[in-house]
Structure 1
Amino acid sequence: MSRATNSTLRTVMTVATFVLGFALLCSLGLWQLSRAAEKQARYAAFVARLEAPAVNVDDLDTADPAASHAWQRVRLRGHYRDLHVLLDNRVQAGRVGYDVLSPFVTEGGRTVLIDRGWIPLEGSRETVPDLVAPADPFTLSGFIGEPPVVGVELNAAAATAEWLAPRIVRVQRVEPAGIGELFGLETWPAVVYLDADAPGALAVDWPVPGDGSARHRAYAVQWFAMAAVLATIGIALAYRKRSTQT
C-alpha cells in the first residue's frame, strides 16, 4: 500500500471518528432535552391534579391508584380504625421521629392508609407513643401518593414489624398490602397524605418535589459543549493539515 493511500486512509478514519463522536454527543444532548420535556410534562400533570377539585376515593376504580392518580386531591367520608403504624427513622427539623399512618374505613367500605404526619421520638425507642384517632365519622381531605420511604435501612431485619402495643406497630417500610395483613384488613394500594387542617392530622409538612428538568438541561448543555469542543478540534486539525500541504 502506497504512502499516499495510507495517508488518505488515516484521514478518512480521523474524519469518521470526529463525525461519529460529534453525532453521538449531539444525540446525548438531544436525549437529555427530551428527558427534561418529559419531566416537565409529568410535573405539569401532577400540579394540575393537585390543584383540581377533590374527588371521592370511593369513586376511583383503578388497580394502581398511586401511579394513575398520583397527587390527585381526594376526600374520604368515614372513620379511623384505632390502629397505628409508625414508620421509623423519619427526620423533621433535625429531630428523629415517626410518620404515623392509620387505616381509615370509608363509607364505601374501602380501608385506606392515611399518613397523618410526623411525631418526634420521645424518650427511648421502647417508649410507646400516646396515639389517639378521632372515633366519630367525618370527612378527610388530602392527596394520593406512593407509600413513604426512608433513605436508609438501619438493620438487616428492616422489614420486620415490631409490635409496641396491641394496636401500634413500628416498621421500616410501608407496603399497604403488608400493613393490611398485620391488622387483618384488606387495604387500598395507595396512601393518602392528610391535609394539615384535617381531623387527626399531626405535624404535616409534605414536600412537593420540583420537576427535575433543570438537571437534564444542564446535562444537555454539557453534551453540546463537548460536541462544540470536538468540532473545534476537528476543524483546527483539518486547517493545520491543509496548511502543511500547501
Structure 2
Amino acid sequence: MALVVCTCLALSVWQWQRAAQKAYLLEKRQSGHVIADFNATIDLQNQRALEGQQFRLHGHFDDSRYWLLDNQIVNGTPGYDVITLFRPIYSEEWLVVNLGFILATHSRAVLPQVALPSSLQTVNVEFKIGKWAGFTLATQPDLNTAQPELLQYLDHAFFVAQTQRPIAVSLAYASDQIINDIQPHYEAVVMGPDKHRAYALQWLLLAVAAMVVPYLAYKRKSDE
C-alpha cells in the first residue's frame, strides 16, 4: 500500500510541476511577441532564457544534406519533418533545425526531395529544451540503411557523430515557412496547464483512496 501511495503522490507532484512549467511558457509567450535577434555566444549559454522565446537567426544552411523525420502526421496527412543544419553568423556551433512538415510521396521507397537555399538566410525559430526524442521504440535514429537520411527520432549525439561538427545542444524549430511545401507545425505547449492540474488532482485522490479504503476495510473487519 505504501508503494502505491508514494507512487500516486509522486505522479501528482510531477503533474503539478508540469502545470507550472506550461503556465510559465504560456505567460512568457503572451507577454510579448517581440522576436529577439539571436546571439549564439550569449543565448546558447542560458537554456532557461531560450525556452518559450522566439529568435531571429541570420546565417547559412548546409545545403549539401538534410534528413527526414519519419512517421509525422499533420491534419490527418502522413509525411515527414525536414531536418537541416544551420550555422548562425559569428557562431562556431551548428544548429539542428526542424523546418516543418512535408507531404509523403506515393511510395515509401521514394522520399521527398528538398532544395535548401545556399545564400544568407534569416530564420525565425523556437527552441525545444530537454530531450530531443519523443516516445519511440527505435533502437537508433537511422534504422534504414537503404535510406540513411530517413530518421526515426532526433538525437544530439547522432548529429555530432554523423557530421563531425560542433552541434548546439538546443533543437530549433522554424516558426515561419522558409521553403515552399514545407510547413512549420511545432507547438511548444500541446497540453495546457489546466489539464496537468486535473491530472495532479486525480493522482492525489488516488493516493487518498489508497490510504482510506484499506483503513476502512481493516476497521470494518475489526468491528466484526
The TM-score normalised by the length of structure 1 is 0.68
The answer on whether the counterparts of 1:54 and 1:73 sit within 8 Å (CA) in structure 2 is: yes
Give RMSD over aligned pairs.
3.4
| Alignment partner of 1:127 is 2:110 | yes
C-alpha deviation, 1:49, in angstroms: 4.3
2:138 equivalent to 1:190: no
What are structure 1's unaligned runs of at least 5 residues? 1-20, 242-246
Q: Over residues 155-184 of structure 1, what are the superposed CA-to-partner deviations in whole Å (9 max), with x where a residue is unaligned?
A: x775346475xxx82222322342244344
2:56 alignment partner AA:
R
Aligned mate of 2:13, from 26, 34, 39: 34
Q: What is the correspondence of 1:47-62 to structure 2 with a 5 Å cutoff?
A: 47-51=26-30, 53-55=34-36, 56-58=38-40, 59-62=42-45
Aligned twin of 1:102? 84
User: 8 Å contact 2:67–2:151 — kept in the other structure?
Assistant: yes
Partner in structure 2 of residue 43 of structure 1: 22
Q: Would you say 1:75 and 2:59 are equivalent positions?
A: no
Kindly indicate whether residue 94 of structure 2 is the aligned counterpart of residue 114 of structure 1.
no
Structure 2, unpaired ranges of 5+: none
Q: 1:189 to 1:29 in 2, by over 3 A?
A: closer
Distance 1:220 1:192 in 2: 36
Aligned in 2, Cα 1:227/1:32: closer, same or farther, shift over 3 Å? same
Does structure 1 residue 91 correspond to structure 2 residue 76? no
> In structure 1, what residue type is equivalent to 2:19?
Q
Q: Which has the larger radius of gyration?
A: 1
Paired position in structure 2 for 1:147: 132
Change (3 A) 1:24 1:100: closer
Task: Give yes or no for contact 1:30–1:220 (8 Å, CA) kept in 2.
Answer: yes
Map Cα deviations across residues 88-138 of structure 1 (whole Å, 9 max, x no partner).
222333433211011111112231111011112203233242212233323
Q: Sequence identity of aligned pairs in percent? A: 17
- Do the aligned partners of residues 41 and 215 (structure 1) sit closer, same or farther apart at CA in structure 2, a change above 3 Å counting? same
Residue 219 of structure 1 corresponds to which residue in structure 2? 203
Tell me whether 1:209 sits opposite 2:209 in the alignment: no
Query: Residues 143 and 194 of structure 1 are in contact (CA less than 8 Å); yes or no, is this contact kept in structure 2?
Result: yes
Shift of 1:187: 1.8
Greater share of residues in helix: 1
Cα distance in 2 for residues equivalent to 1:61 and 1:151: 27
Aligned-pair CA distance for 1:38: 1.9
Aligned length in residues: 211
Residue 120 of structure 2 corresponds to which residue in structure 1?
137
Q: How far, CA to CA, are the matches of 2:164 and 2:9 in structure 1? A: 51
Q: Which amino acid aligns with 2:156?
A: P
The answer (yes or no) to whether the contact 1:74–1:141 under 8 Å persists in 2 is: yes
Alpha-carbon distance in 2 for matches of 1:35, 1:150:
18
What letter corresponds to residue 147 of structure 1 in structure 2? W
What is the distance in 1 between the residues matched to 2:84 and 2:159?
10
